[in-house]
Structure 1
């Protein structure tokens, strides 16, 4: 290694460390241009660190941990959701079901059911405090752990929650590396997730629990590749019980279980094997039994995990809380904003109530298409299907918060596609909304984000299409 290369790597690490310290302790969410400078500077350092041939895997793992520990004692500065996390955990610790009550009800009645009631409510804000919690049971377990170790200190709870997220990311690094090895893909790919500044800032820094969900998801995919589908089903259920989003993936496992090679091959002009229905596979009876078992174990485990909180009120409250994301909220949307503008032009008002019902139907149709009419036999094909199924949902959703991108990002490391990495860079433009008081989106910034994203996505689709033509 030349002295120049050695010093360049040390310089990049030192600069990254200083930038993360500044981000964690000396930044307000309203300082948008300072935020942009720190964000793009960190991604520049990240790019050169990932590309460096002189930094080995052990050093990269050390940086994964170091950069996260910088945030250990910082108060999240880009999100206030953690106040609700702490609230829910303390409620359960007091024997109260957080799914059955609203924080604002206690405030209006002057009741303080948990320590620091007023501070937690003020921190989460009126909008959060006026809705029922929508965090699934294993997510709630994380909140309980924070309450157990720091029942009277918001700062202490933050540290505990952050340690849980850091441990989850280390778990993703471990199982992601093992899965990449099994798929004969470069192990270094996992650092596109683990060292990504977006992940370090949004997850470790701002206490979003996608890493816990993704830890179970990647572990599940690893077990599925080992043909241990029962364990895979249990782990997938655990993933859903942290965040509901993996429920979207259930249809896409169909081919993995039921497909088998056709004995009566019909060769088409494209040299692919198809049956009389135009599908590239035919069902196997034994595979169908395994699929049913996989779904049954997954759904049963989810129900068991929710049972401690069950009541008739719980179902109604939880359904209403989840439904709000489709009917009421809008943030950093893509095609939805185009549909909304069309609605304004023809109807004169916001059509979110109608559009919010249509977009999930479009997602379901898209999932059905890629379930039955796209090859999902290998693990790489399956994960690619998961990636595009989820991204289609986000492309049509009314609300796309930055932390949602953790899932497409980690899935992308097992595929040929890198557009989610680009998305994690340009997602920062969505934070321009918080530079205004009260917050207000500037759709020019949203437009820049999605023009860059879709431009790169189209480029990758065309590039990979050309690659397959050459292979054939």
Structure 2
């Protein structure tokens, strides 16, 4: 018989698949964001009631029900997404021996490569912003359904690892729609990049420093954010030797050197420059500066960077002195770093929240989990553009509460013997 968690997983998959059919669109003008938000809020309320009645017992759905829910999601399409067309296109281009860092989707050099759905790629004049391993992942996956299946396996493995750490069934159930929508229904690469970091920090006693270093290096080659975990690895006493530092330095240098070999002239990369200079989506601190204080966008970007640097220094000094336990410090620091990074960044896509959600689940952080759940408000713009300021506010509502929660709680986790 299915348990409550099994039923929640199945029901969520049904609703998300139905929404993907009702509001099906290749973009860029999506609609129906308010309906998705309404579902997530109602679902979260039901989970809260079930938790209060002590009816949530299992950390995640059992295997049969997990894969049944995934099959239901496979019957739909990515909800409010057309990014998968770019992912699959750039992966195919890269695997075929061409260079998506030099040639955008509309370039003459790539016109001969057949691809179904090329007309739905957004921002066709921009080159790739994804590191080589991400492109290889997209290219080897080749088809949307296969990549959905691979991401489903990653989510399944995430659940398995979280059970080892005895995460709260309440927190995990809250995250079901988020994980289904962003990483099984869609195929965003952040899950793979985070999982590699997650393995390095939640590893068993058999995980050596060099294995952790390799995992972080792989994450870095999937998405740049993965390198953030490297300094914490270097702080561990057992890793303080010249050979380890030398390998770490090579990993840091490997990506820019590899990209230079592939590209030669970084100025030709129109994607990263456009993303860094112009793109704004559902920001936190940035929107306070621009909408509330009337700061111009260029100045707001600079102040957002300054704000994050000050926040970062606070983490280094405050948590460095407070946390005597090295493991606690690493988990606390990464969690708070990613919280702040998402709040201060001018671009906050909902799938970015996985970087702090996994750590919030690990540390039983209710407000951190809710911060990720409320990323659904990023989609209010789809069908309700006039309500974008409300979406921005709600998407970051739990950031200060997540910090407050950390101000008096230590990062305590319980773990079974793996």
TM range (shorter): 0.7 to 0.9
Displacement of 1:320 in angstroms is 6.1
Deviations 1:252-282 (A, max 9, x none): 3354x14xxxxxxxxxxxxxxxxxxxxxxxx
Residue 22 (structure 1) aligned with residue 22 (structure 2): no
User: Counterpart of 1:448?
Assistant: 394
CA offset digits 1:372-427 (Å, max 9, x no partner): 43426342332121100111122211111111001100011221422221112322
If the length of structure 1 is used for normalisation, what is the TM-score? 0.74
Equivalent of residue 146 in structure 1, options 136, 141, 163: 141
- 1:90 offset after TM fit, Å? 1.4
Judge conservation of contact 1:136–1:306 (CA < 8 Å) in 2.
no
CA contact (8 A) 2:5 2:173 kept: no
Find 1:300's aligned residue among 226, 238, 250. Answer: 250
Change (3 A) 1:349 1:302: closer
Task: State how far apart, in whole Å, the 2-side matches of 1:196 and 1:8 are.
Answer: 13
Which residue of structure 2 aligns with residue 130 of structure 1?
125
Counterpart check, 1:37 vs 2:38: yes
5+ residue gaps, structure 2 = 25-29, 413-418
| Map of 1:228 onto structure 2 | 208
In structure 1, stretches of 5+ residues that fail to align are 148-156, 181-185, 259-285, 468-472
TM-score, with normalisation over the residues of structure 2?
A: 0.82
The whole-number CA distance in structure 2 between the counterparts of 1:60 and 1:406 is 22
Matched, 1:288 2:289: no
Residues 130 and 49 (structure 1), Cα distance of their counterparts in 2 relative to 1, 3 Å cut:
farther
How far apart, in 2, do the equivalents of 1:349 and 1:195 lie? 33
Counterpart of 1:339 in structure 2 is 289
Give the direction of change, closer, same or farther, for the CA distance of 1:14–1:124 in structure 2 (3 Å limit): closer
**Mapped pair 1:431 → 2:379:** yes
Aligned mates of 1:381, 1:190 — CA distance in 2: 25
Cα distance change on mapping 1:430 and 1:57 into 2, 3 Å: closer
Q: CA deviation at 1:308?
A: 6.3
**Structure 1 match to 2:415:** none
Give the structure, 1 or 2, with the largest relative contact order (CA under 8 Å, sep 6 or more): 2
Query: Superposition pairs for residues 11-410 of structure 1, below 5 Å?
Result: 12=8, 15-28=11-24, 29-47=30-48, 53=55, 56=58, 59-106=61-108, 112-116=111-115, 119-120=117-118, 122-125=119-122, 127=123, 129-147=124-142, 157-178=143-164, 180=165, 186-188=166-168, 192=172, 196-223=176-203, 225-226=205-206, 228-255=208-235, 257-258=236-237, 288-289=240-241, 293-301=243-251, 310-311=260-261, 313-314=263-264, 316-317=266-267, 321-341=271-291, 344=294, 350-355=298-303, 357-359=305-307, 361-362=309-310, 364-366=312-314, 368-369=316-317, 372-375=320-323, 377-410=325-358
Q: Which residue of 1 aligns with 2:405?
A: 460
Say if 1:317 and 1:400 are closer, same or farther in 2 by CA, change over 3 A: same
- 68-77 vs 17-26, greater mean Cα deviation: 17-26
Deviation at 1:161, TM superposition (A): 1.3
Alpha-carbon distance between aligned partners in 2 of 1:172 and 1:63, rounded to the nearest angstrom: 16
Change (3 A) 1:22 1:116: same
Is the CA contact 1:430–1:441 (under 8 Å) kept in the aligned structure 2? no
Whole-Å Cα distance in 2 between the matches of residues 203 and 47 of structure 1?
Answer: 23
- Check the 8 A contact 1:332/1:400 in 2, yes or no: yes
CA deviation after TM superposition for structure 1 residue 323, in Å: 4.8
SS at match of 1:166: helix
Q: Structure 1 pair 137/318, CA: closer, same or farther in 2 (3 Å)?
A: farther
